Structure 1
Amino acid sequence: MNCWKTINISRDYGTLRLIMFSSSTVLLSFLFYYLVMSTIVQTTEFTQFGFVTVVLSLFGLVLTHKLLHCLPIWLFGGRAKIKISTRKLLFPLMDIKLREPLSRNVYLLALFSPLVFITTAGAVGSIMWPQFLPYFSILTSINFGLAFYDLVYASHLMKAPKQCYIEDHDEGFHILIKQAV
């Protein structure tokens, strides 16, 4: 007979500390990305957009980031939905809710997909349209900051057995390990 051993991983890692690390990641990745891309791509004149366009593109980035988390789950037959809540803040928060446990590999793929796809799109966009290099640099670095949380979760999952399942909860996620009794 088999039973499941559960390992609980809390999402509360010290919220202020995570925000500081994420913000530092945004700053350092912007400096590194812009420095590297400006040496690769030659541009003489930058195109400027208005403030409203930049803010709308930031909201689009967050939505795309969340959708890219869901895409591997949907492709492998899992069920996930994006929940939007206000939680007494000035701006809405988007959260992904899983309806069933996922295998470790699918969950890892879902964690890494926004980082890989958005960074690749930013690099390709910077090369194809060098006049928009500052905007691609800003969006790509903010994506790195959003992905910092994903990398923290992935570091816990990399230590888990390959045949485990991940169950998502409001307070964190549970790693389900099948054990013989």
Structure 2
Amino acid sequence: MNCWKTINIQKQYGMQRLFIISSLTMLITFLFLYVPFTAYFSQNRLNDNYFSLFLLCMVITYPIHKLLHYLPMIPLGKKVKKTIHIHYHFFPVIYFRAQEPIKKWNFLLASITPVIVLNTVFIVCCFLFTHYVHYFLILFAYHFGMCVPDFIRMKNLWKAPNQCFVEENENGFEILINKAS
């Protein structure tokens, strides 16, 4: 297989820039959703009960996000390596890395799964628990901002040939195509 393109998002964008883009995405998402949702649910008073549960949801959103990345990769078995690194002496960062080439569509499915599942859950909860719509919109915006690197990966991979494969390494990921005979 030949390497069609190598993509290193951290090197291309930088960690600070990714953080700023993610933070702005969170803020803009919340601002654009809060007004229409609170107008739609204007007959309900917003409650600030269960704040500790809200904080717990903020904390567990990241591990659930990572787990949802992993679920579509479970059938790939040992092709996927799982590691956990502790940053700043207390913050666990979970990595799932495809060590062997996997199909483009498997990688795209693994990238989009958390966006679809968690954000759908948060929006449905807005309609089920209308007094806490602000909590769920904050969680939605927080998760949407968390997904910015996934969106960048998907954008880069979307332009790749349909029959390509993806292999991840320490420096990002490579898009591989079969040699032409």
What is the TM-score when the length of structure 2 is the normalising length? 0.88
1:5 and 1:91 map into 2 onto residues whose CA distance is: 34
Partners of 1:70 and 1:81 within 8 A in 2: no
Q: Is the helix fraction higher in 1 or 2?
A: 2
Matched, 1:165 2:165: yes
Q: Deviations over 1:112-171 (max 9, x none)?
A: 111111111111100011111111011110111111110111111011100000001121
What amino acid is the match of 1:169? Answer: N
What amino acid is the match of 1:127? Answer: F
In the alignment, what sits opposite 1:7? Answer: 5
Partners of 1:66 and 1:82 within 8 A in 2: no
Matched, 1:18 2:18: yes
Q: May I ask how many residue pairs the two structures share in their alignment? A: 176
- Secondary structure, aligned partner of 2:149: helix
Partners of 1:8 and 1:173 within 8 A in 2: yes
Q: Which moved more, 1:39-48 or 1:114-123?
A: 39-48
Q: Deviations over 1:58-114 (max 9, x none)?
A: 22110111111111122xx21335422114444221222224221111111111111
What is the TM-score when the length of structure 1 is the normalising length? 0.88
What amino acid is the match of 2:123? Answer: A
1:176 and 1:132 map into 2 onto residues whose CA distance is: 46
Q: 1:5 to 1:82 in 2, by over 3 A?
A: closer
- Secondary structure, aligned partner of 1:27: helix
1:53 and 1:84 map into 2 onto residues whose CA distance is: 25
- Secondary structure, aligned partner of 1:179: coil
In the alignment, what sits opposite 1:110? Answer: 110
Residue 37 of structure 1 and its aligned partner are, at CA, apart by 1.8
What amino acid is the match of 1:78? Answer: L
1:72-151 → structure 2 map (5 Å cutoff): 72-74=72-74, 77-79=75-77, 80-151=80-151
Partners of 2:99 and 2:169 within 8 A in 1: no
Unaligned residue ranges in structure 2 (runs of 5+): none
1:47 and 1:55 map into 2 onto residues whose CA distance is: 12
What amino acid is the match of 1:49? Answer: Y
- Secondary structure, aligned partner of 2:76: coil
